[in-house]
Amino acid sequence: MKASLIWTGLGFTLLAVAHYMGLFVAPKEAMMGDVGRILYVHVPTAWVALVTYLVAFVLAIRSLWQGKVSTDAYLEATLEVGVLLNVLLTIQGSIWAKPTWNVWWTWDPRLTTTAIMVLSFVGVLLLRNAITNPQRRATITATGAIVAFVNVPIVYMSVRWWRSLHQTQSSPETVSQTMHLPLRMAAFGMLFLMIGFILARGKIALRKLEAESAAPDLPDLNTVKPLDV
């Protein structure tokens, strides 16, 4: 738990400094003005959300390969943190879209695939909570996470594959140098926060799974014969 607190504290510190710089130090965005300052929040959230799903994908493969309870626990934690970031980036994107596109939501390829992405991973978590058998639950969770991950690269490439209102991916060459430091600090802050959240939530999930495996098996009521009186 100490490690998770360190990562979380470091993440919050970097985010606080980065967002202060984004709000009060960095100049206005050339085309969007002050509205563009939300990019210091939205872009790092999007980056780290996709990275979190990538970590979940790797853990899912490892869970199927090794079948360890600890891997299953941290897969559950990673999926939950990924969904949290996914929801945040969707809300942030809508806040940015209203003054920019004059709509809160439009079925743009990037927005549509992002909505599918969050619904897919939420579905994996809902399915996991509906299964009581530990081995079957771990297998279904890992398989579902792998299937849901198929959409992640589609989300990333959607602005290049289809005509989209959403801008294409930025790079150091396409972003003003005044934006580099706060963007990078916010990205690392969000990354460290993600690590801290996964470590904390993973330990909780692991304790729950270990307690579940240590509990005595209850008899199946359908097979218990009534006592003769």
- Domain assignment of residue 123, given as a range: 2-166+177-208
Does a structural domain hold residue 229? no
- Say if residue 192 is exposed, middle or buried (CB neighbours under 10 Å; 0-12, 13-18, 19+): buried
Rounded distance between C-alpha atoms, residue 55 and residue 175, angstroms = 27
Does a structural domain hold residue 227? no
Does a structural domain hold residue 225? no
What tokens does 41 get? 């929040």
Rounded distance between C-alpha atoms, residue 137 and residue 45, angstroms = 29
- CA torsion 97-103-109-115 (nearest 10°) is 80
What tokens does 17 get? 């400094």
Does a structural domain hold residue 57? yes
Digits of tens for pLDDT over the chain (229 positions)? 689 999 999 999 999 999 998 888 877 776 677 777 888 899 999 999 999 999 999 999 999 999 899 999 999 999 999 999 999 999 998 988 888 888 888 888 889 999 999 999 999 999 999 999 999 999 999 999 999 999 999 999 888 888 776 777 666 555 667 778 889 999 999 999 999 999 999 999 999 998 887 766 545 444 555 555 4
Contact 187, 44 (CB under 8 A): yes
Does a structural domain hold residue 215? no
Contact 44, 186 (CB under 8 A): yes
Contact 52, 199 (CB under 8 A): no
Q: Helix (H, G, I), strand (E, B), or coil: what is residue 67? A: coil
pTM reported for the whole predicted model: 0.87
Length of the chain as a residue count: 229
Q: What Å distances lie between residue 162 and 106, 113, 133, 157, 212, CA to CA?
A: 15, 11, 42, 9, 47
Whole-angstrom Cα Rg for the chain: 21
Does a structural domain hold residue 25? yes
Nearest to 124 by CA among 60, 68, 66, 67: 60
Does a structural domain hold residue 214? no
CATH of the domain at 72: 1.20.120
Does a structural domain hold residue 213? no
Number of domains in the chain: 1
